Chain A
Amino acid sequence: MNTEESYEIRLKVNGKTQQITAPARRLLSDALRGELGLTGTHVGCEHGVCGCCTVLVDGAPVRSCLTFAVAVQDREIRTVEGLAADGGELHPVQEAFKECHGLQCGFCTPGFLMTACALIEQNDDPTEEEITEAIAGNLCRCTGYQNIRAAVRYAAEIVRSDKT
């Protein structure tokens, strides 16, 4: 009963192109986590509200739980695993979240990291309002956000000082 049609989907994630076979309804979040084993992208609500599943598609933050994998074929997808090389140097946002204790359980963290990454790669001197604006769509139940804000501020600072 109800044999579902599958598609060959080319996903370009963190610079690497991979082919998966999945039905059209496979969410990008599930494809990343299941088919590609990139479990750093988390799923906190599956209805687009918590931001845990945020990845970058062509540089812009996107909720992977509201995106079908088939819809982002050949687009440039970046996940938390792509922020730093394996065991290699941390991206400024990662560095900053660690330094500022911007995470506790770490479940929301990949979403915040990708959101913050998109922000500071476009604007390395954001105002408080711009920081709020950027992260105001991500939920965290552990930190009370204070150290997350501090981390985003500090990440921008690292980027600026790297440039000088």
Chain B
Amino acid sequence: MTTQSFGKAIRRTEDDRLIRGHGSFTDDAGSAGLSLTMIRSPYANARILSIDVSEAWDVEGVQAVLTYNDLPGRLVEPLPLLIPHPSLVAPRTQYILAKEHVRYVGEAVVAIFATDRYVGEDAAERVIVEYEPREAVVGIDAALGPNLVHDDVPGNVAADHVEHVGNVDQALVGAPHVLELDLDMERSMGSSLEGRASHATWDRHSRKLRIQNATQTPTSVRFAVANILEIPDEQVEVFAIDVGGGFGTKVIHPWPEDILTAWGAIEYERPVKFTEDRVEHFISSSHERAQRHQIKVGFDDEGRILGLDVDFVHDNGAYTPYGMIAPLITATQLPGPYKLPNYRVRFRSVYTNTVQVTPYRGAARPHAVFSMERTIDRIAAFLDIDRAELRRRNFIQPDEFPYDLGMIFQDGRPAIYDSGNYPELLEKVLAMIDWDGFPERRSQTPSGRRRGIGVACYVEGTGLGPYEGGHVRVETGGKVQVSTGLASSGQGHHTVFAQIVADELGVPFEDVEVVTGDTRRFQYAVGTFASRAAVMSGNAVAEAARLVKEKAIQIAAEALEANPDDLEIVDAQVQVKGTPARGIPLAQVAVLANPLRYSFSEAARAATQFAGAGDLDEPPIKPGEDPGLEAAGWYSPVRSTFASGAHAVEVEVDTATSEVEILRYCVVHDCGRLINPLIVEGQIHGGVAQGIAGALYEKMAYDEDGNLQNASFMDFLMPYCTEIPEVEIDHLETPSPLNPLGIKGAGEAGVIPVSAVIAAAVEDAEGFQINHMPLFPSELHEMRLMNAEVSE
């Protein structure tokens, strides 16, 4: 048998290039063209009175200086609303260059095309823009106040949405106990180390616009660019070779700079590149995570939840290009692994004069889990029941799947959990952290320290549709070429898809080469987000490999004069089962699959029209057949598959400095069958690190005028290795019944319950309620003072 590679910790095929410095990130592409430099608004809310660009044109090396009024054709329209939703009654998207108004600090106002970025910035200094500033709307309180972000959006409300299951009002009235919680979380952002980037070249001979773009979704960038520039799709090629992290930010498209570089390449017949610098990434890409939740929960004496009523406000920033995806996810993922017979959630999504808010790894699930898990802990404290035990009492049980939440998920389909085992996840993580032994450990806490422990559980909808596809082709040289349309930004897709194809087809892993995110290789795709790539493209390439296998067996059966049912593929050879001596190499089958007129090698000679084989009364390619040993496969699920997990953490808080130290961090994770544990664990490490960042270190510090005061890595406290502990991981593998490989998504999981679990542990250590994240030492210190006052 071919050595199986699915499930093995195979080292990544991506790495060799990257560690030699031979990666191909967008900014690495050609340097001979023009560089695009943007002038951005210094005001959060202002009218543009005038723009004087005349002096900038005189700078040597400047090709063009453009304002809104210079834009041609469809470039004058607002950027597309990518995902409409019925609740989104007042969608607004920004213009490529600001038209009359600016609505956040960082909004693009002027575009400069120059020989390099140095020259572009020199020219930028010579542009004079006159603004008439207005009162900025910053933060949720301001959004609910009198000042407006968009004059035609009353109350700043973009969307107002309610979903409910059962009858919450009745449940709350009848509940023996009712508690209320007010929770809020701050903003953060993806902060990939590579910013946004696009490099466009126009080949006037072949009439092709070639775009390398740091995107999670090249196929859609292609359609967007073609659409806005009003040129045929066929003329546009988009590829993302290496992308230096995405985390959701790079699923948003097209950015103003994507369109301007593409347009400029054609207009000036020179390559045009835009590479975002760090400040720009802070003020002109996307943020996420700011929400405020009001919760009312009714429960019985045993702690079983009878009704949950959640009302939250989502700060969507100045524009809504990605629709209401983030708050919709909070709404539907909030129940987590618990049974909520009566649940109502309402959200209002409001405009503020800040950077737009779009999904960032976890995509508003951290807020959902923070709400649910804080609620559970509060009930446990109220009833004086062990927090783990309270979870057990509310879990959906393993024999209750499929479990219908009674709501519509972000993919527009019913939220039905496909499989899982929540009690076992919990028991495993409790054993891992030795939950029962904690009182003993606490009693040994050194003086000057307080110790606490917390646990949190989550369910994550992953692998959502509509579809992905994959293509597999066996070359006559024996290499197996695989492509899929979605892009990679560090997830190890090239490795895991090769594992899947190697196993399905029966070839060595080393023979498989994978390309992702290149519209020249595969034109149809949705993209990499929502922990969907492995599930979607994984199952698609598996299907393509199965089709290729079938075809190879058909062709080989003729050549070997054998019954197809008696054939198998082992180590890249099609052979009679158990009889390697009666076989034909797959590479040779690839030769036979393509009847040739011309011969160019020894192997090809066997496939020419005079090679002799076949029935002379039949055409060389029979009806219904295609030449070539290749096939495309598709995967389109009826609905999402739901992964789950439980995290536990033990912390020590310093009584003097209020600093939180993580002593142990344990994860039990269930993403169905594991394709490659090394890669899944890497994803969890990275996710947990981002979770800890959001729980303890990061926030976007806006002042009341809408200036982002920490728009640099000096001030935005993205953790170094000194802040991130070792993460201990165990797996549970509950296969998904929804797809043939039994897999679920894993990309975002790590980040989801981190704020919740750290809040729980700090609350346990401090003995007062934690309702706010992140927990900076200064804030924890304030909370201590406040709680000391209250208890005096």
Chain A residues in contact with chain B, CB under 8 A?
A: 1-3, 23, 25-26, 33-34, 38-47, 49-50, 52, 79-81, 83-84, 90, 94, 97-99, 101, 103-110, 113, 132, 135-149
- A107-B192, A138-B720 known, 11 other contacts, Cβ within 8 Å: A34-B31, A39-B27, A47-B712, A90-B19, A90-B20, A103-B18, A105-B489, A106-B19, A139-B193, A141-B245, A146-B726
Q: Provided the pairs A90-B19, A142-B490 are in contact, do residues A3 and B193 lie with their beta carbons within 8 angstroms?
A: no
A83-B720 in contact (CB<8A) = no
B21-A81 in contact (CB<8A) = yes
B21 — which chain A residues lie within 8 A by C-beta? 38-41, 79-81, 83, 110
B784–chain A nearest beta-carbon distance, Å: 29
A39, A135, A136: the one contacting B28 at CB < 8 Å is A39
A141-B20 in contact (CB<8A) = no
B681 — which chain A residues lie within 8 A by C-beta? 101
B655–chain A nearest beta-carbon distance, Å: 25
Which 9 pairs, one residue from A and one from B, show the smallest C-beta to C-beta distance?
A: A40-B21, A107-B244, A105-B490, A144-B689, A106-B18, A104-B490, A144-B685, A80-B21, A39-B28
Q: Provided the pairs A52-B193, A146-B727, A148-B721 are in contact, do residues A113 and B19 lie with their beta carbons within 8 angstroms?
A: yes
A146-B19 in contact (CB<8A) = no
B22, B118, B278, B686: the one contacting A143 at CB < 8 Å is B686
A143-B20 in contact (CB<8A) = no
B192 — which chain A residues lie within 8 A by C-beta? 105, 107, 141
A44 — which chain B residues lie within 8 A by C-beta? 193-194, 244, 278
Residue interface mask B460-501, A partner, CB < 8 A = 1:
000000000000000000000000000001111000000000
B20-A101 in contact (CB<8A) = no
A43-B27 in contact (CB<8A) = yes
Q: Provided the pairs A42-B194, A46-B278 are in contact, do residues A94 and B28 lie with their beta carbons within 8 angstroms?
A: no
Is the CB of B58 closer than 8 A to any CB of chain A? yes
A39, A99, A107, A149: the one contacting B245 at CB < 8 Å is A107
Complex Cα–Cα for A33 and B254 (A): 27
A142 — which chain B residues lie within 8 A by C-beta? 245, 490, 682, 686
Which of B7-15, B339-347, B393-401, B507-515 lies at the binding interface? B7-15
Please list 11 pairs of residues, one from A and one from B, whose beta carbons are closer than 8 Å in the complex, sorted by A's number: A40-B21, A42-B244, A49-B713, A101-B679, A105-B245, A105-B490, A106-B14, A139-B193, A141-B247, A144-B687, A145-B721
B361–chain A nearest beta-carbon distance, Å: 10
Complex Cα–Cα for A12 and B18 (A): 23
B689-A145 in contact (CB<8A) = yes
Q: How many residues of B contact A (CB 8 A)?
A: 59
Chain B contacts with A in 153-194, Cβ cutoff 8 A: 190-194
Complex Cα–Cα for A91 and B247 (A): 30
A41 — which chain B residues lie within 8 A by C-beta? 21
Chain B, interface SS category: loop
A103-B15 in contact (CB<8A) = yes
Chain B contacts with A in 722-760, Cβ cutoff 8 A: 722, 724, 726-727, 750
A136 — which chain B residues lie within 8 A by C-beta? 720-722
B630–chain A nearest beta-carbon distance, Å: 29
Is the CB of B785 closer than 8 A to any CB of chain A? no
Chain B contacts with A in 241-298, Cβ cutoff 8 A: 242-245, 247, 277-278
Complex Cα–Cα for A111 and B535 (A): 32
A71–chain B nearest beta-carbon distance, Å: 17
B15-A98 in contact (CB<8A) = yes
A3, A106, A113: the one contacting B60 at CB < 8 Å is A3
B191, B242, B688: the one contacting A106 at CB < 8 Å is B242
Chain B contacts with A in 11-39, Cβ cutoff 8 A: 11-12, 14-16, 18-23, 25, 27-28, 31
A-B Cβ contacts below 8 A, count: 175
A28–chain B nearest beta-carbon distance, Å: 14
Complex Cα–Cα for A106 and B690 (A): 17
B16-A98 in contact (CB<8A) = yes
B22, B122, B690, B714: the one contacting A49 at CB < 8 Å is B714
Is the CB of B381 closer than 8 A to any CB of chain A? no
Taking CB as reference atom, which chain B residue is nearest A26?
Answer: B118
Is the CB of B59 closer than 8 A to any CB of chain A? yes
Chain A, interface SS category: loop
Taking CB as reference atom, which chain B residue is nearest A96?
Answer: B19
A145 — which chain B residues lie within 8 A by C-beta? 685, 689, 720-721, 724
A103 — which chain B residues lie within 8 A by C-beta? 15, 18-19, 490
Complex Cα–Cα for A25 and B122 (A): 12
Complex Cα–Cα for A94 and B683 (A): 20
B493–chain A nearest beta-carbon distance, Å: 11
Q: Provided the pairs A34-B31, A99-B11, A104-B682 are in contact, do residues A45 and B245 lie with their beta carbons within 8 angstroms?
A: no
Complex Cα–Cα for A108 and B194 (A): 9
B689-A80 in contact (CB<8A) = no
B682-A25 in contact (CB<8A) = no
A148 — which chain B residues lie within 8 A by C-beta? 721
B20, B243, B245, B687: the one contacting A84 at CB < 8 Å is B20
Residue from B20, B23, B489, B492 with most neighbouring chain A CB atoms (10 Å):
B20
Complex Cα–Cα for A103 and B15 (A): 8
Taking CB as reference atom, which chain B residue is nearest A143?
Answer: B686
B116 — which chain A residues lie within 8 A by C-beta? 34
Is the CB of B678 closer than 8 A to any CB of chain A? yes
B28-A33 in contact (CB<8A) = yes
Q: Provided the pairs A1-B58, A42-B194, A106-B242 are in contact, do residues A25 and B19 lie with their beta carbons within 8 angstroms?
A: no
B27, B243, B713: the one contacting A47 at CB < 8 Å is B713
B245-A146 in contact (CB<8A) = no
A49-B712 in contact (CB<8A) = yes
Complex Cα–Cα for A113 and B688 (A): 23
B19, B25, B685: the one contacting A94 at CB < 8 Å is B19
Is the CB of B718 closer than 8 A to any CB of chain A? yes
B714-A47 in contact (CB<8A) = yes
B191 — which chain A residues lie within 8 A by C-beta? 141
Complex Cα–Cα for A107 and B27 (A): 11
B12-A101 in contact (CB<8A) = yes
Residue interface mask B349-372, A partner, CB < 8 A = 1:
000000000000000000000000
B710–chain A nearest beta-carbon distance, Å: 12
A23 — which chain B residues lie within 8 A by C-beta? 118
A87–chain B nearest beta-carbon distance, Å: 8
B689-A139 in contact (CB<8A) = no
B366–chain A nearest beta-carbon distance, Å: 16
A34 — which chain B residues lie within 8 A by C-beta? 31, 116
B714 — which chain A residues lie within 8 A by C-beta? 47, 49
A25, A50, A135: the one contacting B118 at CB < 8 Å is A25
B490-A132 in contact (CB<8A) = no
B489, B689, B721: the one contacting A149 at CB < 8 Å is B721
Complex Cα–Cα for A97 and B682 (A): 13
A79–chain B nearest beta-carbon distance, Å: 7
Complex Cα–Cα for A162 and B602 (A): 45
Complex Cα–Cα for A26 and B31 (A): 14
Chain B contacts with A in 594-622, Cβ cutoff 8 A: none
Complex Cα–Cα for A21 and B161 (A): 60
Q: Provided the pairs A39-B21, A47-B278, A144-B689 are in contact, do residues A101 and B60 lie with their beta carbons within 8 angstroms?
A: no
Taking CB as reference atom, which chain B residue is nearest A95?
Answer: B19
Complex Cα–Cα for A47 and B690 (A): 22
Residue interface mask B33-63, A partner, CB < 8 A = 1:
0000000000000000000000000111000
B244 — which chain A residues lie within 8 A by C-beta? 42, 44, 105-107
A141 — which chain B residues lie within 8 A by C-beta? 190-193, 245, 247, 686, 690, 718
B123–chain A nearest beta-carbon distance, Å: 9
B712 — which chain A residues lie within 8 A by C-beta? 45, 47, 49
B193, B679, B688: the one contacting A107 at CB < 8 Å is B193
B25-A80 in contact (CB<8A) = no
Complex Cα–Cα for A144 and B692 (A): 10
Complex Cα–Cα for A104 and B690 (A): 14
A137–chain B nearest beta-carbon distance, Å: 7
B693–chain A nearest beta-carbon distance, Å: 9
Complex Cα–Cα for A84 and B19 (A): 9
B20-A94 in contact (CB<8A) = yes
Complex Cα–Cα for A16 and B339 (A): 67
